[in-house]
Amino acid sequence: MPSASAPEPTLHAVKTQEPAPAAEPTSTPIRKAGFYADLDTIARIRAAWYYTPPASGEREESLSDFLLAAALDRMEERQRKYNGGEEFPPVPAGKIARGRR
């Protein structure tokens, strides 16, 4: 009795995206930062990153990169508005009260 052979797999072309440019090395250690928000807001933030098409050129590599980019945009806006575009002096860790106000 002849044995049936498995069908050959079909290969499909996969469109690849150019890798993002490497981030500039930093001289300071990387540390996790966080924020408080209600679950609906967190879900909307996550969805905004997730549903941005990778091929659009606008989607960051990770949700963390998305949040950092948003915070940096806001930081630069405040520096321009309140400090002549210059960096603010550093604020030591622990100086700002924790938690939502």
In this prediction the pTM is: 0.66
Query: Over its length of 101 residues, how does the chain's per-residue pLDDT go in tens digits?
Result: 555 565 565 554 444 445 555 556 667 788 888 888 999 999 999 999 999 999 999 999 999 999 999 999 999 999 999 999 999 999 998 898 877 66
Domain for residue 70, yes or no? yes
Each residue's pLDDT tens digit, 67-95: 999 999 999 999 999 999 999 999 998 89
Domain for residue 1, yes or no? no
Domain for residue 57, yes or no? yes
Burial letters 6-36, b for 16+ CB under 10 A, else e:
eeeeeeeeeeeeeeeeeeeeeeeeeeeeeee
Contact between 43 and 50 (Cβ < 8 Å): no
Domain for residue 19, yes or no? no
Q: 71 is in which domain, residue-wise?
A: 48-83
Domain for residue 63, yes or no? yes
Domain for residue 28, yes or no? no
| Count of domains observed in the chain | 1
Domain for residue 64, yes or no? yes
Domain for residue 79, yes or no? yes
